[in-house]
Amino acid sequence: MYKARQDGFVFCKTTETQEFSFSFQREGFSKFNKIYEYDYQMFGQTVTMVMTSVSGHLLAHEFRMPFRKWHSCNPLALFDAEIEKYCPENYLDIKKTLEREIRQCQALVIWTDCDREGENIGFEIIHVCKAVKPDLQVFRARFSEITLHAVRSACENLTQPDQRTSDAVDVRQELDLRIGAAFTRFQTLRLRKIFPDILADQLISYGSCQFPTLGFVVERFKAIQAFVPEAFYKIKVTHDHEDGSVLFNWKRNRLFNHTACLVLYQMCMEDPVATVVEVASKPKSKWRPLPLDTVELEKLASRKLKINAKETMTIAEKLYTKGFISYPRTETNIFPKELNLSALVQQQTQDPNWGAFAQRILDQGGPTPRSGTKSDQAHPPIHPTKYTANLQGNEQRLYEFIVRHFLACCSQDAKGQETTVEIDIANERFIAQGLMILARNYLEVYPYDKWSDKVIPVYQKGSRFQPTTVEMVDGETSPPLLLTEADLIALMEKHGIGTDATHAEHIETIKTRMYVGLTADQRFLPGHLGMGLVEGYDSMGYEMSKPDLRAELEADLKLICEGKKDKSVVLQQQVQKYKEVFIEAVARANKLDEALAQYFGEAAEIPEQDEVYPAMPVSVRKCPQCNNDMVLKTRKNGGFYLSCMGYPACKTAVWFPDFVLDVTRDESICDVCKPHPVHRLKFKFKRGSVPPVMPLEFVGCIGGCDEMLRELLDLKYLHRPSQPASSATQPPQHPQANHSLNRAGSENRQGRGTTNPARGHLLSVISSRTSRDAAPAAAEDGSDAVVCNCGSEALLLTVRKDGPNRGRRFYKCGSGSCNFFLWADEQAEDGGAAAPRGSAFPQPAAGRAPGGGRAPEPAGSGGGAEPGGAAVCRCDQPAVTRTVHKDGPNKGRQFHTCPKPREQQCGFFQWADENVAPVNLTICLSMTHWINPSTLSNSLIGNLSSQITVPSFVRAVTDLVWS
């Protein structure tokens, strides 16, 4: 059986009884979470208890890769990005312990704290254990303190875990992740560029709780700034007596009109004799404090002990785990009837400071605590559970405060007698009050409240006396004070921001982010960054610093716990609400810049928004390996590829060759390829890299159905090994890629290829575009010698120059007559040997580039045009010869081109120094190895261009054959 506690400690040993007895202690995989075994009576039998602990949440919400990386996507995508719940690396040892131990157990008992977070942690433990043992019995122990009675009672009254309470935490965690990550990236990425000198290294975080908390501080500060003092006037009367002086306050309090007050004062001074018109005496009580809940503990510790909320809760949790106080996170201020308060008071009678008071409570009829109005139905108010005198420092101070508060609320109200005297001077009334304390009661043990006597003489109704002074005084209204931590916590509770367990955390966050600071008297003062953020968002029209949005969420979470709202509905509504706010905030981001510029100086100019926020990944198709989206991406050194969003777990990718100048997703969807939808891509090709009949801008599908695009891009469509041989000739529906490719190395386009697929695994396509130049011919004698374009045997040389190709072997023309060049490791791939001379591809016909397309006309060419020898352009005119004058590798090189003016040229181009063999029918047909008209259907021809038809394609091929 498991007992797990969220804070890493366990209750397992007691000296009062042998009901719990350890057999032994042993180590788990985590050195911080021990394992204890002992026998205990449960379920009507003796069972072996195996007890261990977890350290807070065992699992965490996080975006799936690559959304975890800041520059992976536009922050807007985070509202819809897939989220997973996983075990962080530092908790894997705890998870391994649970998985190992549960195999030997028949039941699991959850002993996490009985609040929302504890319930959710319990379900994380259940999830891990049931993954190992699905039929495991699960129980929930409910307790509020670590005492023998509480633990025994929990064991005897086991319940079931509360799924709805856990669901509320899941919703809150997911929303906090999505909202916080989206706004934090938006703010940080933008403002670092806008104010690089000030915010270059600043994390500008956003949280749906921390921001309203900041808003309270800014609102108070701005109220003080906007405050305009106003002069007021009043009349004050004093009367001296043997024991002091009595102050009579004007019943009108004050007037803001000087003349009116002056007139009344002068009337009083005409006959300044006071007549006693009323004397009243009545009992007065000072109420003892209510039982202590978490919010009151934080506020009172801050005000009375000067210990901040975060430290207060840290100390309280330590006292709780040591068994000195009850669970410190509670919203309840009503003691349950079944709680034995007398026994708790009895424990404190031994203390030298408050022991006598505790005994008096017992002697006077026992505890009679005052009751509040709040109950979370989970934990009682905070109270001492065990006496100790061995604490030091703030631990001792906080423990003493909790004890004194408990005894005070179990005592009686302080009693007194209040006397009110009213006098009349010239029909103006003045009042004085006196107090006589009759019984201090709770004040004797609770020094944190002050109540003192205020002595006034005995006045008789109708008596007259001469006042000592009658004065007209003036003053000014004063602005409100900056917020203290107690004030801030009170506002957070009032408006539903966070919970009693998270108030301290949110306050600490805005301090560490430097959104606020503290004055010398420990009051909150907003910083420039905090002021600018609040003012910027408020100016957009969305008062995100106001508590309304978060308060609505907290209310919805309560409804989930009560079963009145569905988890998925709340999640969907809240995500949509914040998404709309985010879109609007991004659209009006300049308001944020302007607000911060008031504090940081002029904002820097930045490029278009897309350069600040990465473009949102748009899905082209589903990955055939893992079913994640595949999206278009740009390589660091230029070029494009299609990548799986599951990277690095899935390395499926489609790499496009360098002659693809641009590629975007088209809105059209392929009807053939599956799984749907498979979007077509819009390509822009480099001039001269595609067949002349193919447009430079082309829309096609890479799902496997478009044969021309498949051949052009060298997409290798491999089949599953399990498919029958008869299907091997059928075009597959899904591209398959080499998963063993290293991404870092795949940037190098030289020599990229695909490896053989592993048996039974579907591989996705890696485009391995190789040179479209003619394959080098073999020697006539059948040897593997490589022949250049001149027909001579090429020389085999080695690169000696330092660089990435050093040591690499290559072929070049032996006589230097042509520009033939070939890397030795790029010989013809089919069969692994060079092709025979008779089937070698020649140099392109006049006007065609080596890839089969038209070559670009060199810029900057010109000069004396000469007839181009036997060369004839596509207009059937003798070509002219020109020389390249533009600086570059071809400067001084001659070429043949059309003799007509530039705007009328047919596009013919041919280098003059290239040996061009005549093209015959056999060679042209061999070129259809990669452009075969017979394989193109009308629908595929239609993809090429709206102007290209089957007849025009045939005519183009005929022209190519007979040119």
C-alpha torsion sign, points 557, 563, 567, 568:
negative
The reply to whether omega before 336 is within 30° of 0 (cis) is no
Residues 46, 40 contacting (CB under 8 angstroms): yes
Alpha-carbon distance 770 to 689, whole Å? 12
Cα atoms found within 13 Å of the Cα of residue 939, Cβ hemisphere only: 8
- Smallest CA-to-CA distance from 56 within 167, 169, 161 is with 169
Show Cβ contacts of residue 134 under 8 Å, excluding neighbours closer than 6 positions. Answer: none
Alpha-carbon distance 184 to 186, whole Å? 5
Q: Exposed, middle or buried: residue 222 (CB in 10 Å: 0-12, 13-18, 19+)?
A: middle
- Smallest CA-to-CA distance from 869 within 924, 923, 913 is with 913
pLDDT at residue 937, as a whole number: 38
pLDDT at residue 871, as a whole number: 75
CA dihedral 879, 880, 883, 889 (to 10 degrees): 0
Residues 639, 663 contacting (CB under 8 angstroms): no
pTM over 0.85: no
Q: What does the DSSP assignment read for 633-694?
A: EE-TTS-EEEEETTTTT---EEEPPTTEEEEEEEEEE-SSSSSSP-EEEEEEEPTTSS-TTS
Residues 2, 52 contacting (CB under 8 angstroms): yes
Q: Max Cα separation, the chain?
A: 144
Rg of the Cα atoms in the chain: 43
DSSP state letter for 953: H
- Smallest CA-to-CA distance from 415 within 434, 437, 447 is with 437
pLDDT at residue 914, as a whole number: 64
Residues 255, 261 contacting (CB under 8 angstroms): yes
Residues 413, 442 contacting (CB under 8 angstroms): yes
Alpha-carbon distance 219 to 534, whole Å? 9
- The amino acid that residue 677 corresponds to is P
- Smallest CA-to-CA distance from 534 within 212, 796, 950 is with 212
C-alpha torsion sign, points 10, 13, 19, 24:
positive
pLDDT at residue 615, as a whole number: 59
Q: With residue 445 as reference, give the H or E element that holds it.
A: none
Alpha-carbon distance 811 to 399, whole Å? 87
DSSP-derived 3-state class of residue 583 = helix
Cα atoms found within 13 Å of the Cα of residue 587, Cβ hemisphere only: 9
- Smallest CA-to-CA distance from 766 within 718, 830, 715 is with 715
Show Cβ contacts of residue 309 under 8 Å, excluding neighbours closer than 6 positions. Answer: 298, 301, 302, 485, 489, 503, 504, 507
- The amino acid that residue 815 corresponds to is S
C-alpha torsion sign, points 121, 126, 127, 131:
positive
* Residue found by looking up tokens 């003691």 in the block: 335
Alpha-carbon distance 73 to 698, whole Å? 27
What the block records as the tokens of 275 is 């007549």
What the block records as the tokens of 563 is 């079963």
- Smallest CA-to-CA distance from 499 within 841, 30, 115, 16 is with 115
- Smallest CA-to-CA distance from 835 within 878, 776, 893, 877 is with 776
Helix pair angle (589-600, 528-539), 10° resolution: 150
- Using DSSP bridges, classify how beta strands 821-823 and 83-86 pair: parallel, antiparallel or unpaired: unpaired
Q: What does the DSSP assignment read for 109-153?
A: EE-S-SSHHHHHHHHHHHHHHHHH-TT-EEEE---SS-SHHHHHH
Alpha-carbon distance 709 to 700, whole Å? 7
Alpha-carbon distance 526 to 534, whole Å? 10
Q: Which residues of the chain have pLDDT under 70?
A: 1-23, 606-617, 636, 648, 715-792, 816-820, 826-870, 902-903, 914-963
How many C-beta atoms surround the C-beta of residue 562 within 10 A? 11
Residues 677, 705 contacting (CB under 8 angstroms): no
- 206, 320, 327, 459: the catalytic one is 327
Alpha-carbon distance 393 to 529, whole Å? 36
- Smallest CA-to-CA distance from 676 within 711, 643, 627 is with 627
Is residue 547 left, alpha or beta, with left meaning phi > 0 and alpha meaning psi from -120 to 50? alpha
Alpha-carbon distance 174 to 181, whole Å? 11
pLDDT at residue 744, as a whole number: 34
Alpha-carbon distance 110 to 138, whole Å? 8
pLDDT at residue 717, as a whole number: 37
DSSP state letter for 75: G
Show Cβ contacts of residue 239 under 8 Å, excluding neighbours closer than 6 positions. Answer: 245, 246, 248, 274, 432, 465, 467, 468
Among this protein's residues, is 327 annotated catalytic?
Answer: yes
pLDDT at residue 716, as a whole number: 55
